[in-house]
Amino acid sequence: QRDNPQFRNKRIPFPIHITKTGPYILAAAYHETSNSMYDRDAKNKQWLRDKAAETGVKPLDKGIYYKELSKGKPGGATPNRNSVVTVHYTGRTINGKKFDSSRGGAPLAMRLRDLIQGWVIALQQMHVGDKWEVYIPAEMGYGKFSQPGIPGGSTLVFEIELLGVM
């Protein structure tokens, strides 16, 4: 299909996936360019600045902030980028809309380096048993690309409990 002349030298404003049966728009990765995206960016950045000024909110690298909800064991294990972490989490947008959660089911177990950059940075500072609320700017999350339940340019709010490190 890639050699098909109807697709050659065509500029398409959104990502596509070419299969044997034809091209498909990758809707979840659609990149917004409207004024609403710029308004949302400004609103998300202002929300993050306001959150950073709250009592108990501490900075991490790359514009990420967190609030410690509960402390784990002193000297507990801390993951590195190559660690497999086991966590319970709930993800929300700044308006409080939940887009994902492991609560009520099995905890997530993933290699840390395979997660969004905001999680990589935050989890490397956590100890087993810590429970944090983490505030991740869009650039350290999904950027300007929309995901199911998450508009492009969204600041992400995660409640993360680090259960284990391997």
Residue of 7, 16, 30, 99 marked active site:
99
Residue of 121, 135, 158, 160 marked active site:
158
Q: Can 50 be counted among the known catalytic residues?
A: no
Q: Can 100 be counted among the known catalytic residues?
A: yes
Q: Can 14 be counted among the known catalytic residues?
A: no
54-57 CB contacts, 8 Å cutoff, 24+ apart:
57/135
Residue of 41, 65, 66, 89 marked active site:
89
Pairing of strands 98-101, 156-165: unpaired
Q: Can 142 be counted among the known catalytic residues?
A: yes
Q: Which stretches of the chain are assigned E, i.e. beta strand?
A: 16-19, 22-25, 57-59, 65-70, 84-93, 98-101, 108-111, 131-136, 156-165
Residue of 121, 142, 150, 160 marked active site:
142
Residues tagged active-site: 89, 99-100, 116, 142, 158
